[in-house]
Amino acid sequence: MSEVHLLEHPLIQHKLTHMRKKGTSTAGFRRLLSEISLLMGYEVTRDMSVEYLDIDTPLAEMRAPILVGKKIALISVLRAGQGLLEGLLELIPLAKVGHVGLYRDPVTLDAIEYYFKLPEQMSDRDCLVVDPMLATGHSATAAVERIKETNPKSIKFLCLLAAPPGIQYFHEQHPDVPLYTAAIDPELNEKGYIVPGLGDAGDRLYGTA
């Protein structure tokens, strides 16, 4: 299977360009990420399930579609995932939210878990896992592995930027999980950062560089 969906909408690309610029302020970066998450959310939710509700318009009765929002779990990989989560929650306010805390071992670049909290009844839920940077793919892969232990109905992974080694590693481990990204950059540097990328997404989001 191994699907990669490149979200090339011009508005997403325009905002991403401003996020990449090193002179963009923390406040600007945060606002742009929130705006992009709304646009990406629109694409990622395209095939989400709807159910039908009997309603009255001012003129007539009708059966109208609504999202099965309570069955959706948005799962943020801390801490940069929070930047994507906030916009998505505005789009799908009924979604339940989970968090996976991982840090990268600076030497091995392996993902080490320090926090894990998901909503109940995961087997009923379509999950959207969010983390802006798919670099080596180690954190994304580890996060999805843990989430799979809860037996969710489905999983998609949403990032802003991905690099080929991360995509390859992720899909070797999780060929059943589709990836959504706004761009695929050519490479990683020796510290595992995406190049040209946008730097450390968490630091840029929270001004902690």
Residues that bind ligand URA (CB under 6 A): 80, 133, 135, 193-194, 197, 200-202
**Shortest approach of ligand URA to residue 202 CB, angstroms?**
6
Nearer to ligand URA, 145 or 187 (CB): 187
Nearer to ligand URA, 1 or 209 (CB): 209
Q: Cα separation of 144 and 155, whole Å?
A: 8
Nearer to ligand URA, 88 or 133 (CB): 133
Q: Cα separation of 96 and 70, whole Å?
A: 7
**Shortest approach of ligand URA to residue 163 CB, angstroms?**
8
Q: For residue 102, what is the enclosing H or E element?
A: strand 96-104
Return all residues near 165 (Cβ < 8 A) that are at least 6 apart: 135, 136, 137, 187, 188
**Shortest approach of ligand URA to residue 161 CB, angstroms?**
7
Q: Cα separation of 182 and 1, whole Å?
A: 20
Nearer to ligand URA, 122 or 180 (CB): 180
**Shortest approach of ligand URA to residue 188 CB, angstroms?**
8
Q: For residue 205, what is the enclosing H or E element?
A: helix 201-206
